Amino acid sequence: MVPAPARFSELVERYDGFLFDAYGVLVDAAGVCPGAIAAIDAVRAAGKPLRVVTNDASRLPAAAAARFAGVGLAIDAREIVTSGQLLGAHVAAAGLAGARALVLGTDDARAYASQAGLAAFAPAALGGGEVDAVVVCDDAGFALLDGINAALTAAVRALDQGRRLALVCPNPDLVYPRGGGALGFTAGALAMILEAGLRRSHPDAPGFVYLGKPAPAIFALARAGLPDAPRLLMIGDQLETDIAGARAAGLDAALVTGVSRWRDRAAAPALAPHWLLDSLA
């Protein structure tokens, strides 16, 4: 399949509903992305439903909606599906209810973990205490190096003592756009560092379980809220998460180029978007 260059305005009539990634598509650290306000307006004007489907686990939906409103994007909290919302099902399925969980991330990240049934605390509250789980939600909200050092130390201690250790990363993204072409590492990269460090002393240590895109759960959650929109288009800026995940979930996908660049990767059809957009403009 060869991705076709397109403008978003041409795609509105082709689909029943739209799943927008947040960072690099609607917003970046510098503010609203070009064309995003008009794109949301066009979907509303066509009477079609939308969801924001984001790996960001650093804001609860209401906080994300407020942030969008602050840059002129009218999106209801109920239209926002986050990887943080996947924690509850994972905690239940993995039998982690009540587990002492060191959470790397913001206050809202810890709120997701608490709502999911974990006994969640921040790195600064760890002291010399024991952990049953390390949950990597975000790069912000804590002293980064102190936090990952504390997580590594606590995780090694748990395995040294022969205790069960669960490693969970709601946001698998390695890199995020900071605006103006600048990039930053985020949760998925921190999980990789922790896993590599842990394996220095425990080669058979458990690996992180990644919850967000490209795994299917977040797409299933978004679709469950849109039963009357069978033909959905996912619009994202990262091939490995947005596009691969959408394709695996059976959805059409449009790549907004930026973090990922399409270079006619004939060898990677699972990553091929249906559409290429320079922006939402």
Point out which residues bind Mg ion (CB under 5 A): 21, 23-24, 237
Q: How far is the CB of 28 from Mg ion (least distance, A)?
A: 9
Residue 143: other Cβ atoms inside 10 A = 12
Comparing every residue's Cβ against Mg ion, the nearest one is 24
Instruction: Tell me the pairing of strands 50-54 and 133-136.
Output: unpaired
Q: How far is the CB of 26 from Mg ion (least distance, A)?
A: 9
Residue 196 region, left (φ>0) first, then alpha (ψ -120 to 50), else beta?
alpha
**Which of 143, 182 has the CB closer to Mg ion?**
182
The nearer residue to Mg ion, 237 or 240, going by C-beta atoms, is: 237
Any bridge partners for residue 275, and if so which? 4, 254
Q: State which residue, 123 or 177, has the beta carbon closest to Mg ion.
A: 177
Rg, C-alpha atoms of the chain: 19
Distances (CA, A) of 92 to 105, 113, 146: 21, 12, 30
| Encoded amino acid at 257, one letter | T
Closest distance of CB 175 from Mg ion, Å: 9
Min dist. Cβ of residue 208 to Mg ion (A)? 20
Least gap, CB of 173 to Mg ion (angstroms): 7
Nearer to Mg ion, 158 or 260 (CB): 260
Nearest residue (CB) to Mg ion, 21 versus 132: 21
Cis-peptide, bond into residue 214, ω within 30° of zero? yes
End-to-end CA distance of the chain: 24
